[in-house]
Structure 1
Amino acid sequence: MTDEQRGGGADGESPKPPEHPDGAEPRGVSRRTVVAVSVGAGVALLAAGAAVVTPLLTGRGGLLGPAPTPTPTPVPSTTLTVAHRGGSRDWPEMSMLGYANSAKLGAQALEISLARTKDGVWFGLHDPTLDRTSGTTDFVAADHTWQEVSQYRITAAQTTNPAQPAQPYLRFEELVDAFAASRVIYVDPKIVPAQHHPELFAMMARAPAPTRTFVAKGYCTATEWAQEASRRGYPTWGYYYAADLHSDPHLLESTQSRWTTLGLDYTASPAVWKRVKAYGKPVLAHVVPDAAAAQRALQRGAAGIVASGVREVLAEARG
């Protein structure tokens, strides 16, 4: 299965293996805490501090809203938690609202999938089109300008609260400006052709400490992206699905060396978790919808979680 095929569609948050994976560090008493994890001969930065960006939480109608039903087993505050698409189960995906609320709840890292408009604007979008997120028809982002894209809003239809207001699309620069000083950002260019990757690296390089701020993320077969990032000193995260490892017995062995850290769906069996962990690299569980799923992953040896249900996973433990 190709990276594009693995990346498409809505969140997979049912008991079966999630359709789309994506995960950051614990909130401490200080405004900024950096957690580094040794991986082989290198050091992979997995997450950074937990500063709260108050102005962002009050803009665009951006309050957290009512707390969810308390979870029976809170996730420890020391668990690395990455906000998948800014908490795609709770808020319109990859919106400033979602990222700000995830940061407020204590997610140490934020994940974003990126598309590129025809006039060179990189923004948060998981699919080739705006159809799923905005209800358009065959609106291919790469064929339109940012001005055209920005006329649309990200629906809340696939969240736990579909009635909440739709949100504007978010330029990558906006995310970096708001959170690069306090969070690690997992970056996935998805279907953007490799010829445009230098533009993305140039934007990342403008951050004060880019190789300690960004993690290059991708489906396990996106090895060209991983190699590009590694040459520039960035840590990487390549994710897998148990179903794919079963259908292709050589997939893990042939690709894992390209990635600093690995990912596995939280629904994978203990045997598959043992197999992936045998390479001695931190393994993050994806895409985790709630605290029960997070506990399941941690019991199987996950070093951290990539959570779509950020509020469900973190609200009781860190709220």
Structure 2
Amino acid sequence: MNTPWLYPLWIAHRGAGKLAPENTLASFRLGLQHGFRAYECDLKLSRDGQAFLLHDDTLERTSSGQGSPADQDWAALSRLDAGAWHSPPFTAEPLARLEQIAAFCQANGCAINIEIKPCPGEETRTGTVVAREAARLWAGALPPLMSSFKPEALAAARDAAPELPRGLLLDKLWEGWFEAAEALGVVAVITNYWLMDKALIERLHARGWRALVYTVNDAAIAERLIADGIDGIITDAVDQLGPA
């Protein structure tokens, strides 16, 4: 691993974990108040190709909208309430666009892991647009780590902006994952924490890749992973683990 790793160990999940409405600027601001200087967030596209933050394939859970965001233009999505579902203090918090997150991160000296989270059938389009936008918005700054569970989305990101670092997300060690990571030219593999052990960390490091995990909310698990040589820990527990 001769390439320097410039990203912090501790990464706030979707902004400030569960303390604020996920994937919103309000959540990023709260994470910053807890001392975090690295974030993870989920990126989708509107029907008219605007990159914005949302985890689910539908709008109901974390906004006042309904249905698939892929079927709606940004003009409509921008009017949704993405905060009231969480708690009254966040009422009227809007969905966040990628350009807002870029401005926040660069103004505050923060790193970011952008998860490309395409709606079904939107893998290539989402990977392409999000990577191009990220390359433009972070030009001259510490680049975002682009990641996805969808190899086709990550391949599209690679083709659109090969200079951006990439990480393959895994919720299981499916057959061929190692070869897929090689073909995608990744710098990191990011797994569910229970998949990661010292042997896997050493295997990834031997290949020249970094090892990251999601979503660790238990101090004992975090301590074990740190002792084993983990490079990044994504957490919801921003008020209990990591920077303060």
| TM-score between the two structures when normalised by the length of structure 2 | 0.81
Structure 2: tracts of 5 or more residues without a match? none
* Matched letter for residue 102 of structure 1: G
> Once the 2 structures are TM-superposed, how far is the Cα of residue 165 of structure 1 from its aligned partner?
3.0
What is the Cα deviation at residue 142 of structure 1?
Answer: 1.3
Q: Where do 1:63-212 residues align within 5 Å? A: 80-134=9-63, 136-137=65-66, 139-155=67-83, 165-166=90-91, 167-181=93-107, 182-191=109-118, 192-195=122-125, 197-207=127-137, 209-210=139-140, 212=142
Contact 1:238/1:256 (CA < 8 Å) preserved in 2? no
How many angstroms apart in 1 are the aligned matches of 2:117 and 2:192?
A: 18
Q: Which residue of 1 aligns with 2:231?
A: 303
Kindly state the Cα deviation for residue 309 of structure 1 after the two structures are TM-superposed: 2.0
Decide whether aligned partners of structure 1 residues 293 and 153 sit closer, same or farther in structure 2, where only a CA change above 3 A counts.
farther
Q: Residues 295 and 135 from structure 1, CA distance in 2 versus in 1: closer, same or farther, beyond 3 angstroms?
A: farther
Q: Structure 1: how far apart are the matches of 2:211 and 2:38?
A: 15
Deviations 1:202-226 (A, max 9, x none): 4334446456232211127344145
Q: 1:142 to 1:164 in 2, by over 3 A?
A: same
AA in 2 matched with 1:239: L
The aligned amino acid for 1:227 is R
Rounded Cα–Cα distance in structure 1 between residues aligned with 2:150 and 2:128: 21
- Aligned partner of 2:144 in structure 1 is 214
| 1:124-159 alpha-carbon deviations (Å, 9 max, x no partner) | 01122102212654x1111112232233223576x7
1:120: how far off?
A: 2.7
Could you tell me how far 1:269 is from its partner in structure 2? 5.7
Q: Which moved more, 1:210-219 or 1:90-99?
A: 210-219
RMSD across aligned positions (CA)? 2.9
Residue 109 of structure 1 and its aligned partner are, at CA, apart by: 1.6
5+ residue gaps, structure 1: 1-38, 48-79
Alpha-carbon distance, 1:237 to partner: 1.8
- Does structure 2 retain, via aligned residues, the 8 Å contact 1:226–1:259? no
Sequence identity percentage? 25
8 Å Cα contact 2:57-2:68 kept in structure 1: yes
Q: Decide whether the 8 Å contact of 1:184 with 1:212 is kept in 2.
A: yes
8 Å contact 1:83–1:109 — kept in the other structure? yes
Specify whether residues 140 and 219 from structure 1 end up closer, same or farther in structure 2 by C-alpha distance, changes over 3 A only: same
**Count of aligned residue pairs for this structure pair:** 236
Supply the distance in 2 between the matched residues of 1:216 and 1:291 (Cα, whole angstroms).
27
